[in-house]
Amino acid sequence: QKEVEQDPGPLSVPEGAIVSLNCTYSNSAFQYFMWYRQYSRKGPELLMYTYSSGNKEDGRFTAQVDKSSKYISLFIRDSQPSDSATYLCAMSAAYTGRRALTFGSGTRLQVQP
Amino acid sequence: GAVVSQHPSRVICKSGTSVKIECRSLDFQATTMFWYRQFPKQSLMLMATSNEGSKATYEQGVEKDKFLINHASLTLSTLTVTSAHPEDSSFYICSARLDESSYNEQFFGPGTRLTVL
């Protein structure tokens, strides 16, 4: 079993739709949670980061973490064709521990105009 | 802010040659940088953790003598693929960890596409 599970998609939605992207994980030591967006043949771009449980909102993006369920989500409101990319969840253990990120496999999102 | 550059962006080389890839944090200090490789339609696989002033830490299965890492300053880490072979062809991406971050934020370079003929 992988430490981080993410549905690879592709997920296809019409422009303006609300998108929900999710990851589950098995390592209870993970405390830091991030979402990256990666366009084809480019490096990942940090979108959101959260610590422990709770919600965080930034513009059209909302990140949620439920540590009791080991489940994190990224919501995209009013999705745009420019949001079409692969979205990677990433997480790591506590600050003083292993600092490398463990990534999900990525979900490919396509927003149809 | 928090920009990471990689050079070159693309390289084609003959089998048996060595290739050096540079990763620079342009506007912040990064004591720790990471090197990943990514195959088509797959996620990033961590190869090694690069620490300024000390030896890199390699993941299981990654040959340290083949993938030489040097982190000579707080803004530069290099990955040298020695005696490259076609199976080393991949997308290599570095990331730099923001030293002053309490969230373990890491910022990625644009990647280097290596093709070994």
Residue recorded with tokens 């004591």: B31
Q: Best mutation site among B104, B107, B112, B114 for testing chain A: the one with the most A CBs within 10 Å?
A: B104
pLDDT of residue A95: 57
Which residues of chain A neighbour B104 with C-beta distances below 8 Å? 32, 92, 95, 99, 101
Tens digit of each residue's pLDDT (9 = 90 or more) over B55-114: 899 999 999 999 999 998 999 999 999 999 999 999 999 999 887 776 777 899 999 999
Distance from CA of B57 to the nearest CA of A (A): 11
Question: Would you state the structure tokens that stand for residue B113, as one six-digit string?
Answer: 């596409």
* Nearest Cβ partner for A103 among B32, B44, B109: B44
CB contact under 8 A, A95 and B113: no
Q: How far apart are CA A30 and CA A51, in angstroms?
A: 9
Question: Would you state the structure tokens that stand for residue A85, as one six-digit string?
Answer: 């990319």
pLDDT of residue A40: 87
CB-based contact, B6 to chain A, within 8 Å: yes
Tens digit of each residue's pLDDT (9 = 90 or more) over B18-59: 999 999 999 888 889 999 999 887 888 899 999 888 889 999
Distance from CA of A90 to the nearest CA of B (A): 10
Q: Which residues pair with A75 in a beta bridge?
A: A20, A62
**What is the interface size between A and B, counted as CB pairs within 8 Å?**
54
Q: How far apart are CA B115 and CA B38, in angstroms?
A: 13
What is the bridge-based pairing of β-strands B32-38 and B19-25?
unpaired
Instruction: Point out the least confidently predicted range of A63-67, B10-14, B49-53.
Output: B49-53
pLDDT of residue B2: 83
pLDDT > 70? residue A94: no
Find the Cα–Cα–Cα–Cα dihedral B80, B83, B85, B90, rounded to 10°.
Answer: 0
HEC letters along A84-110:
CEEEEEEEECCCCCCCCCEECCCEEEE
Q: Burial of A75 by CB count in 10 Å (0-12 exposed, 13-18 middle, 19+ buried)?
A: middle
Tens digit of each residue's pLDDT (9 = 90 or more) over A2-59: 889 998 889 999 999 999 999 999 999 898 899 999 998 889 999 998 888 889 999 9
Q: How far apart are CA B98 and CA B50, in angstroms?
A: 13
What is the bridge-based pairing of β-strands B112-116 and B10-13?
parallel
Q: How far apart are CA A79 and CA B87, in angstroms?
A: 38
CB contact under 8 A, A36 and B108: yes
pLDDT of residue A98: 53
pLDDT of residue B102: 66
pLDDT > 90? residue A1: no
